[in-house]
Homo-oligomer: A and B are copies of this chain.
Protein backbone atom coordinates (compact mmCIF):
# COMPACT_ATOMS: atom_id res chain seq x y z
CA UNK A 1 0.00 0.00 0.00
CA UNK A 2 1.37 3.40 -0.94
CA UNK A 3 -0.37 6.71 -1.64
CA UNK A 4 -0.30 10.47 -1.07
CA UNK A 5 -3.47 12.07 0.25
CA UNK A 6 -4.82 15.48 1.25
CA UNK A 7 -4.35 15.82 4.98
CA UNK A 8 -7.71 17.50 5.69
CA UNK A 9 -9.68 14.72 4.01
CA UNK A 10 -7.61 12.09 5.80
CA UNK A 11 -8.21 13.86 9.14
CA UNK A 12 -11.99 14.04 8.54
CA UNK A 13 -12.24 10.34 7.72
CA UNK A 14 -10.11 9.33 10.68
CA UNK A 15 -12.20 11.54 13.02
CA UNK A 16 -15.40 10.01 11.72
CA UNK A 17 -14.45 6.35 12.05
CA UNK A 18 -12.76 6.94 15.43
CA UNK A 19 -16.23 7.56 16.87
CA UNK A 20 -16.80 3.82 16.65
CA UNK A 21 -13.46 2.82 18.18
CA UNK A 22 -13.47 2.03 21.88
CA UNK A 23 -10.28 1.73 23.90
CA UNK A 24 -12.04 -0.74 26.18
CA UNK A 25 -12.65 -3.42 23.57
CA UNK A 26 -11.62 -6.99 24.37
CA UNK A 27 -10.68 -7.59 20.71
CA UNK A 28 -7.25 -5.94 20.28
CA UNK A 29 -7.52 -5.34 16.53
CA UNK A 30 -10.66 -3.23 17.15
CA UNK A 31 -8.48 -0.57 18.84
CA UNK A 32 -7.27 0.04 15.29
CA UNK A 33 -8.56 1.71 12.15
CA UNK A 34 -8.63 -0.49 9.04
CA UNK A 35 -7.34 1.22 5.92
CA UNK A 36 -7.99 -0.42 2.54
CA UNK A 37 -6.72 1.28 -0.60
CA UNK A 38 -7.88 0.34 -4.11
CA UNK A 39 -7.33 1.99 -7.48
CA UNK A 40 -10.57 3.96 -6.92
CA UNK A 41 -10.14 5.21 -3.39
CA UNK A 42 -9.50 4.43 0.26
CA UNK A 43 -11.92 3.05 2.84
CA UNK A 44 -11.33 3.66 6.55
CA UNK A 45 -13.18 1.48 9.09
CA UNK A 46 -13.68 1.72 12.84
CA UNK A 47 -15.87 -0.56 14.95
CA UNK A 48 -16.70 -1.50 18.50
CA UNK A 49 -19.03 -4.32 17.33
CA UNK A 50 -22.10 -2.22 18.39
CA UNK A 51 -21.33 0.54 15.91
CA UNK A 52 -19.22 0.25 12.77
CA UNK A 53 -18.33 3.23 10.61
CA UNK A 54 -16.81 3.25 7.14
CA UNK A 55 -15.56 6.45 5.55
CA UNK A 56 -14.56 6.51 1.91
CA UNK A 57 -12.28 8.94 0.09
CA UNK A 58 -12.33 8.64 -3.70
CA UNK A 59 -9.15 9.20 -5.72
CA UNK A 60 -10.96 12.00 -7.51
CA UNK A 61 -14.00 14.06 -6.54
CA UNK A 62 -15.67 16.81 -8.58
CA UNK A 63 -12.56 17.05 -10.72
CA UNK A 64 -10.24 17.46 -7.68
CA UNK A 65 -7.50 14.90 -7.24
CA UNK A 66 -7.64 13.86 -3.56
CA UNK A 67 -5.29 10.87 -3.67
CA UNK A 68 -2.25 9.94 -5.66
CA UNK A 69 -2.48 6.13 -5.56
CA UNK A 70 0.85 4.39 -6.10
CA UNK A 71 0.07 0.89 -4.82
CA UNK A 72 -3.24 -0.50 -3.48
CA UNK A 73 -3.22 -2.57 -0.28
CA UNK A 74 -4.35 -2.51 3.33
CA UNK A 75 -3.29 -2.21 6.98
CA UNK A 76 -4.72 -1.68 10.47
CA UNK A 77 -3.23 1.18 12.54
CA UNK A 78 -3.78 2.03 16.21
CA UNK A 79 -6.65 4.53 16.14
CA UNK A 80 -5.46 6.80 18.91
CA UNK A 81 -1.87 7.20 17.74
CA UNK A 82 -2.85 7.44 14.08
CA UNK A 83 -5.51 10.04 14.91
CA UNK A 84 -3.09 12.15 16.96
CA UNK A 85 -0.45 12.01 14.25
CA UNK A 86 -2.80 12.99 11.43
CA UNK A 87 -4.07 15.95 13.46
CA UNK A 88 -0.57 17.33 13.99
CA UNK A 89 1.08 16.74 10.62
CA UNK A 90 2.90 19.85 9.38
CA UNK A 91 1.95 19.94 5.67
CA UNK A 92 -1.22 19.76 3.56
CA UNK A 93 -0.39 16.40 2.02
CA UNK A 94 0.56 13.09 3.62
CA UNK A 95 2.38 10.15 2.15
CA UNK A 96 1.58 6.70 3.57
CA UNK A 97 3.48 3.54 2.69
CA UNK A 98 3.43 0.03 4.17
CA UNK A 99 7.03 -1.10 4.50
CA UNK A 100 8.44 -4.46 5.55
CA UNK A 101 6.90 -6.34 8.44
CA UNK A 102 3.84 -4.05 8.52
CA UNK A 103 5.70 -0.92 9.54
CA UNK A 104 3.81 2.00 8.07
CA UNK A 105 5.59 5.18 7.05
CA UNK A 106 3.51 8.36 7.49
CA UNK A 107 5.39 11.30 6.03
CA UNK A 108 4.42 14.96 5.83
CA UNK A 109 7.09 17.54 5.09
CA UNK A 110 10.19 16.61 7.08
CA UNK A 111 8.23 14.65 9.71
CA UNK A 112 8.43 10.86 9.38
CA UNK A 113 6.43 8.51 11.55
CA UNK A 114 6.72 4.75 11.52
CA UNK A 115 3.74 3.04 13.15
CA UNK A 116 3.47 -0.69 13.73
CA UNK A 117 0.47 -2.03 11.82
CA UNK A 118 -1.63 -5.19 11.87
CA UNK A 119 -2.85 -7.36 9.01
CA UNK A 120 -6.10 -5.87 7.66
CA UNK A 121 -7.28 -9.37 6.68
CA UNK A 122 -7.63 -10.18 10.38
CA UNK A 123 -10.04 -7.28 10.96
CA UNK A 124 -13.60 -8.55 11.58
CA UNK A 125 -15.90 -8.33 8.57
CA UNK A 126 -18.71 -5.83 8.75
CA UNK A 127 -22.28 -7.12 8.62
CA UNK A 128 -23.61 -7.73 5.12
CA UNK A 129 -26.56 -5.51 4.33
CA UNK A 130 -28.60 -6.10 1.19
CA UNK A 131 -28.78 -3.25 -1.26
CA UNK A 132 -32.52 -2.71 -1.25
CA UNK A 133 -33.08 0.84 0.00
CA UNK A 134 -35.72 0.90 2.66
CA UNK A 135 -36.15 4.64 2.75
CA UNK A 136 -34.29 7.89 2.56
CA UNK A 137 -34.45 11.22 4.34
CA UNK A 138 -32.44 14.47 4.36
CA UNK A 139 -29.52 14.48 6.80
CA UNK A 140 -30.73 17.56 8.70
CA UNK A 141 -34.19 16.02 9.22
CA UNK A 142 -32.57 12.83 10.52
CA UNK A 143 -30.47 14.92 12.93
CA UNK A 144 -33.64 16.65 14.15
CA UNK A 145 -35.47 13.33 14.67
CA UNK A 146 -32.55 12.12 16.76
CA UNK A 147 -32.12 15.31 18.77
CA UNK A 148 -35.80 15.51 19.65
CA UNK A 149 -36.05 11.96 20.99
CA UNK A 150 -32.73 10.40 21.96
CA UNK A 151 -32.27 12.33 25.23
CA UNK A 152 -35.28 10.49 26.70
CA UNK A 153 -33.84 6.96 26.42
CA UNK A 154 -33.11 5.12 29.65
CA UNK A 155 -29.54 5.16 30.93
CA UNK A 156 -30.18 2.07 33.03
CA UNK A 157 -29.46 -1.42 31.72
CA UNK A 158 -32.27 -2.93 33.81
CA UNK A 159 -34.55 -2.87 30.77
CA UNK A 160 -32.03 -2.78 27.90
CA UNK A 161 -34.75 -2.23 25.29
CA UNK A 162 -35.45 1.22 26.79
CA UNK A 163 -31.85 2.34 26.07
CA UNK A 164 -32.90 2.52 22.42
CA UNK A 165 -35.26 4.64 20.33
CA UNK A 166 -38.18 2.76 18.80
CA UNK A 167 -38.56 3.49 15.08
CA UNK A 168 -41.89 2.45 13.65
CA UNK A 169 -42.89 2.98 10.04
CA UNK A 170 -46.51 2.57 9.03
CA UNK A 171 -48.81 4.25 6.52
CA UNK A 172 -45.94 6.25 5.05
CA UNK A 173 -45.03 7.77 8.41
CA UNK A 174 -42.04 7.23 10.73
CA UNK A 175 -42.68 7.50 14.47
CA UNK A 176 -39.68 7.68 16.81
CA UNK A 177 -40.33 7.03 20.51
CA UNK A 178 -37.93 7.09 23.46
CA UNK A 179 -38.87 6.61 27.10
CA UNK A 180 -37.11 5.89 30.37
CA UNK A 181 -40.54 5.16 31.97
CA UNK A 182 -40.56 8.60 33.72
CA UNK A 183 -40.93 10.63 30.53
CA UNK A 184 -41.38 10.01 26.84
CA UNK A 185 -40.38 11.79 23.64
CA UNK A 186 -42.18 11.18 20.36
CA UNK A 187 -41.55 12.59 16.92
CA UNK A 188 -43.25 11.73 13.63
CA UNK A 189 -42.17 12.41 10.08
CA UNK A 190 -43.50 11.37 6.68
CA UNK A 191 -41.24 8.97 4.75
CA UNK A 192 -41.19 8.14 1.07
CA UNK A 193 -42.45 4.57 1.37
CA UNK A 194 -45.57 2.89 0.05
CA UNK A 195 -48.39 3.04 2.59
CA UNK A 196 -48.57 -0.75 2.89
CA UNK A 197 -44.91 -1.21 3.89
CA UNK A 198 -44.19 -1.30 7.61
CA UNK A 199 -40.98 -1.68 9.60
CA UNK A 200 -40.13 -1.60 13.29
CA UNK A 201 -36.71 -1.47 14.94
CA UNK A 202 -35.14 -0.28 18.18
CA UNK A 203 -31.84 1.56 17.65
CA UNK A 204 -29.44 2.09 20.59
CA UNK A 205 -29.48 5.70 21.78
CA UNK A 206 -25.69 5.78 21.76
CA UNK A 207 -25.60 4.82 18.07
CA UNK A 208 -28.01 7.60 17.16
CA UNK A 209 -26.04 10.14 19.18
CA UNK A 210 -22.81 9.22 17.40
CA UNK A 211 -24.55 9.18 14.01
CA UNK A 212 -25.91 12.62 14.65
CA UNK A 213 -22.40 13.97 15.32
CA UNK A 214 -21.13 12.66 11.99
CA UNK A 215 -23.99 13.83 9.77
CA UNK A 216 -23.60 17.17 8.06
CA UNK A 217 -26.31 19.71 8.73
CA UNK A 218 -27.67 19.86 5.19
CA UNK A 219 -30.39 18.20 3.13
CA UNK A 220 -28.18 15.62 1.41
CA UNK A 221 -30.10 12.32 1.50
CA UNK A 222 -29.27 9.54 3.96
CA UNK A 223 -30.35 6.08 2.83
CA UNK A 224 -31.51 3.83 5.62
CA UNK A 225 -31.46 0.02 5.42
CA UNK A 226 -32.97 -2.24 8.06
CA UNK A 227 -31.91 -5.89 8.23
CA UNK A 228 -32.44 -8.65 10.77
CA UNK A 229 -29.99 -7.34 13.32
CA UNK A 230 -28.47 -4.18 11.82
CA UNK A 231 -29.47 -0.75 10.65
CA UNK A 232 -27.28 0.92 8.07
CA UNK A 233 -27.23 4.67 7.41
CA UNK A 234 -25.56 5.54 4.11
CA UNK A 235 -24.43 8.96 2.96
CA UNK A 236 -22.29 9.67 -0.06
CA UNK A 237 -19.02 8.71 1.62
CA UNK A 238 -20.02 7.28 4.99
CA UNK A 239 -21.58 3.97 5.98
CA UNK A 240 -22.77 3.89 9.58
CA UNK A 241 -23.83 0.48 10.92
CA UNK A 242 -25.59 0.01 14.23
CA UNK A 243 -26.81 -3.18 15.78
CA UNK A 244 -30.55 -3.31 16.60
CA UNK A 245 -31.70 -3.91 20.15
CA UNK A 246 -33.46 -7.23 20.63
CA UNK A 247 -36.77 -7.57 22.44
CA UNK A 248 -40.24 -6.10 22.30
CA UNK A 249 -40.57 -2.37 22.77
CA UNK A 250 -43.45 -1.60 25.16
CA UNK A 251 -46.69 -0.26 23.70
CA UNK A 252 -46.48 3.41 24.63
CA UNK A 253 -49.59 4.58 22.80
CA UNK A 254 -51.82 3.99 25.82
CA UNK A 255 -49.64 6.24 27.99
CA UNK A 256 -50.75 9.32 26.11
CA UNK A 257 -53.98 10.65 27.62
CA UNK A 258 -56.93 10.99 25.22
CA UNK A 259 -58.47 13.98 26.99
CA UNK A 260 -57.27 16.71 29.32
CA UNK A 261 -58.59 18.56 32.33
CA UNK A 262 -56.35 21.63 32.00
CA UNK A 263 -54.65 23.19 29.00
CA UNK A 264 -52.19 26.04 29.28
CA UNK A 265 -50.55 27.90 26.42
CA UNK A 266 -47.43 29.94 27.10
CA UNK A 267 -44.09 31.12 25.78
CA UNK A 268 -41.54 28.29 25.88
CA UNK A 269 -38.45 30.35 26.69
CA UNK A 270 -40.08 32.23 29.55
CA UNK A 271 -41.29 28.93 31.01
CA UNK A 272 -37.88 27.29 30.60
CA UNK A 273 -35.96 30.14 32.24
CA UNK A 274 -38.30 30.27 35.25
CA UNK A 275 -37.95 26.50 35.74
CA UNK A 276 -34.20 26.78 35.38
CA UNK A 277 -34.10 29.37 38.17
CA UNK A 278 -36.51 27.48 40.41
CA UNK A 279 -34.39 24.34 40.02
CA UNK A 280 -31.28 26.08 41.36
CA UNK A 281 -32.25 25.44 44.96
CA UNK A 282 -33.72 22.01 44.23
CA UNK A 283 -30.82 20.35 42.51
CA UNK A 284 -29.51 18.58 45.58
CA UNK A 285 -32.62 16.39 45.41
CA UNK A 286 -32.38 13.38 43.17
CA UNK A 287 -35.32 14.50 41.09
CA UNK A 288 -34.82 18.22 41.08
CA UNK A 289 -38.51 18.88 41.66
CA UNK A 290 -40.30 22.18 40.99
CA UNK A 291 -43.95 23.04 41.47
CA UNK A 292 -46.34 24.72 39.01
CA UNK A 293 -49.42 26.46 40.42
CA UNK A 294 -52.05 28.32 38.42
CA UNK A 295 -52.99 31.82 39.61
CA UNK A 296 -55.75 34.22 38.71
CA UNK A 297 -55.46 36.42 35.63
CA UNK A 298 -53.46 34.23 33.24
CA UNK A 299 -50.47 33.83 35.52
CA UNK A 300 -48.70 30.76 36.86
CA UNK A 301 -46.20 30.41 39.65
CA UNK A 302 -43.09 28.20 39.45
CA UNK A 303 -41.61 27.44 42.85
CA UNK A 304 -39.40 25.10 44.81
CA UNK A 305 -38.51 24.71 48.43
CA UNK A 306 -35.55 22.99 50.08
CA UNK A 307 -35.87 23.91 53.76
CA UNK A 308 -32.17 23.67 54.63
CA UNK A 309 -31.20 25.96 51.73
CA UNK A 310 -34.11 28.26 50.96
CA UNK A 311 -37.04 28.65 48.62
CA UNK A 312 -37.78 30.37 45.34
CA UNK A 313 -40.88 31.42 43.45
CA UNK A 314 -41.51 33.25 40.21
CA UNK A 315 -44.72 34.33 38.54
CA UNK A 316 -44.90 34.31 34.79
CA UNK A 317 -47.69 35.34 32.41
CA UNK A 318 -49.33 32.71 30.21
CA UNK A 319 -51.34 33.16 27.03
CA UNK A 320 -54.32 31.14 28.24
CA UNK A 321 -55.58 28.55 30.70
CA UNK A 322 -58.59 26.33 29.99
CA UNK A 323 -60.11 23.94 32.51
CA UNK A 324 -59.36 23.21 36.17
CA UNK A 325 -56.87 25.06 38.40
CA UNK A 326 -53.43 23.47 38.61
CA UNK A 327 -51.04 22.41 41.34
CA UNK A 328 -48.48 19.91 40.10
CA UNK A 329 -44.86 18.99 40.75
CA UNK A 330 -42.36 17.58 38.26
CA UNK A 331 -38.68 17.14 37.49
CA UNK A 332 -37.14 20.42 36.33
CA UNK A 333 -34.51 18.48 34.38
CA UNK A 334 -37.12 16.51 32.42
CA UNK A 335 -39.15 19.63 31.72
CA UNK A 336 -36.17 21.62 30.48
CA UNK A 337 -35.03 18.76 28.24
CA UNK A 338 -38.57 18.43 26.85
CA UNK A 339 -38.79 22.19 26.19
CA UNK A 340 -35.43 22.15 24.44
CA UNK A 341 -36.70 19.36 22.15
CA UNK A 342 -40.05 21.04 21.43
CA UNK A 343 -38.27 24.32 20.64
CA UNK A 344 -41.46 26.17 19.60
CA UNK A 345 -42.05 29.78 20.61
CA UNK A 346 -45.53 28.99 21.84
CA UNK A 347 -46.21 25.72 23.60
CA UNK A 348 -49.20 23.87 25.03
CA UNK A 349 -49.04 21.87 28.24
CA UNK A 350 -52.01 19.55 28.83
CA UNK A 351 -52.77 18.00 32.22
CA UNK A 352 -55.22 15.34 33.40
CA UNK A 353 -54.56 15.55 37.13
CA UNK A 354 -51.74 16.00 39.63
CA UNK A 355 -50.61 12.37 39.40
CA UNK A 356 -51.30 11.64 35.70
CA UNK A 357 -48.80 12.12 32.87
CA UNK A 358 -48.99 15.48 31.12
CA UNK A 359 -47.87 16.38 27.65
CA UNK A 360 -45.98 19.28 26.09
CA UNK A 361 -46.49 20.21 22.47
CA UNK A 362 -45.50 23.02 20.16
CA UNK A 363 -48.39 25.12 18.90
CA UNK A 364 -46.52 25.51 15.61
CA UNK A 365 -45.26 21.94 15.09
CA UNK A 366 -47.67 19.03 15.68
CA UNK A 367 -45.04 16.35 14.87
CA UNK A 368 -43.35 16.48 18.25
CA UNK A 369 -44.81 15.44 21.60
CA UNK A 370 -43.20 15.21 25.03
CA UNK A 371 -44.73 13.43 28.00
CA UNK A 372 -43.68 13.69 31.65
CA UNK A 373 -44.89 11.87 34.74
CA UNK A 374 -45.44 14.22 37.67
CA UNK A 375 -43.80 13.70 41.06
CA UNK A 376 -45.80 13.15 44.21
CA UNK A 377 -44.91 15.75 46.84
CA UNK A 378 -45.99 16.23 50.41
Binding site for B on A (CB under 8 A): 78, 81, 84-85, 88-90, 103-104, 110-116, 273-274, 276-277, 280-281, 308-316
Q: Are B88 and A309 in contact (CB under 8 A)?
A: no
Query: How distant is the Cα of A291 from the Cα of B266 in the complex, in angstroms?
Result: 66
Q: Is A85 in contact with B314, judged by CB distance below 8 angstroms? A: no
Q: Who on chain B is nearest to A313 by CB? A: B112
- Chain B residues with CB below 8 A from A313, complex form: 111-112
- Are A277 and B111 neighbours in the complex by a CB distance under 8 Å? yes
Tell me the smallest distance from the CB of A147 to a CB of chain B, in Å. Answer: 24
Residue contacts A-B, CB under 8 angstroms, 10 given: A89-B277, A103-B310, A110-B314, A111-B277, A111-B313, A113-B277, A113-B280, A113-B281, A114-B311, A116-B310
Q: Which residues of B contact A90 (CB under 8 A)?
A: 273, 277
- Determine how close the nearest CB of chain B comes to the CB of A24; give it in whole angstroms: 17
Asked whether A81 and B315 contact (CB < 8 A) given A274-B111, A309-B115, A310-B113, the answer is: no
- A277-B88 in contact given A110-B314, A115-B310, A310-B103 (Cβ < 8 Å): yes
Residues of B within 8 A of A88 (CB): 273, 276-277, 280
Q: Given the known A-B contacts A110-B315, A315-B110, A316-B110, are A310 and B81 also in contact in the complex, defined by CB atoms under 8 Å? A: yes
Seed contacts A78-B309, A110-B314, A111-B274; 11 additional CB < 8 Å A-B pairs:
A84-B280, A85-B277, A88-B277, A103-B310, A110-B316, A112-B313, A112-B314, A113-B311, A113-B312, A114-B312, A116-B309
- A111 touches which of B112, B114, B309, B312 (Cβ 8 Å): B312
Q: Kindly state the separation between the CA atoms of A274 and B110 in the bound complex, as whole angstroms.
A: 9
Closest to A77 in B: B310
Cα distance, A312 to B81, chains bound together (Å): 12
Taking CB atoms, residues of chain B closer than 8 Å to A308 are 116
Give the residues in chain B near A111, CB-CB below 8 Å. 274, 277, 312-314
A285 to chain B, nearest CB (A): 13
- By beta carbon, the residue of chain B nearest A115 is B310
A112 to chain B: which residues have CB within 8 Å?
312-314
Residue of B nearest to A105 (CB): B310
A303: nearest residue on chain B (CB-CB)?
B112
Closest to A87 in B: B280
A90, B275: Cα distance in complex, Å: 12
Distance of A306 Cα from B110 Cα, bound (Å): 20
Q: Who on chain B is nearest to A311 by CB?
A: B114
Chain B, residue nearest A84 (CB): B280
Q: Which residue of B lies closest to A89 (CB)?
A: B277
Q: 5 closest pairs, A vs B, by CB?
A: A115-B310, A111-B314, A113-B312, A114-B310, A84-B280
Question: Which residues of B sit under 8 angstroms from A78, Cβ to Cβ?
Answer: 309
The smallest beta-carbon distance between A377 and chain B, in angstroms, is 18
- What is the CB-to-nearest-CB distance from A318 to chain B, in angstroms, rounded to a whole number? 13
CB-CB under 8 A from A84, the residues of chain B are 280
B110 adjacent to A309 (CB under 8 Å): no
Distance from A67 Cβ to chain B, minimum over Cβ atoms (Å): 23
- A310 cross-chain contacts in B, Cβ below 8 A: 81, 103-104, 113-116
Chain B residues with Cβ under 8 A from A312's Cβ? 111-114
Chain B nearest CB, measured from A115 CB (Å) = 4
- Give the residues in chain B near A316, CB-CB below 8 Å: 110
What CA separation (Å) do A311 and B310 show in the bound complex?
60
Which B residues lie within 8 Å of A280 (CB)? 81, 84-85, 88, 113
Alpha-carbon gap, A313 to B110, bound state (A): 8
A107 to chain B, nearest CB (A): 10
Distance in angstroms between the alpha carbons of A310 and B103 in the assembled complex: 8
In Å, the complex CA distance between A115 and B304 comes to 12
